[in-house]
Amino acid sequence: MLEYIDDIALRRFAEGFEPDEIYEVLSVFHEIISSELFNKKELKSLKQDINDYIWMTIQLAKDGIEDLYETLDQKYGNDINSALLTECQEIQIRARQLSVFIKFSQMREIKI
């Protein structure tokens, strides 16, 4: 989780998301994962452990997001937003280009 949270938070910061919006998504993950695991008969006796481990992981992610947002705000202020947003837009353009290329390749394979 820690390996991904910096990248996730950095991108969301650049896109203008507030930390609370990311926290809400993580809370939904917590609810879904916990619910799925609690529904498994063989894990019923581990309900508290499962909840603790999932909650602690989510809380660790939230703390990482909060720290990163504070650091970015202090260090760059609004300057980083435009640079990262441009980078995100470039990635989205490349992803669309790749998607079109893959679809085109698949169409050619079908016709042959």
- In a domain? residue 35: yes
Q: Which domain holds residue 13?
A: 2-85
Answer whether residue 96 is part of any domain: no
CA dihedral 92→93→97→103, nearest 10 degrees, is: 40
Is the model more confident about 78 or about 60?
Answer: 60
What's the CA angle centered on 11, arms 93 and 50, to 5 degrees? 125
When divided into structural domains, the chain yields a total of 1
- Say if 25 falls within a structural domain: yes
- pLDDT tens-digit profile of 79-102? 555 556 666 667 777 777 777 777
Instruction: Evaluate if residue 12 carries a pLDDT over 60.
Output: yes
| Residue 61 and residue 5 in contact, taking contact as beta carbons nearer than 8 Å | yes
21-65 pLDDT, tens per residue? 999 999 898 889 888 888 898 888 888 888 888 889 999 999 999
pLDDT score recorded for residue 85: 60
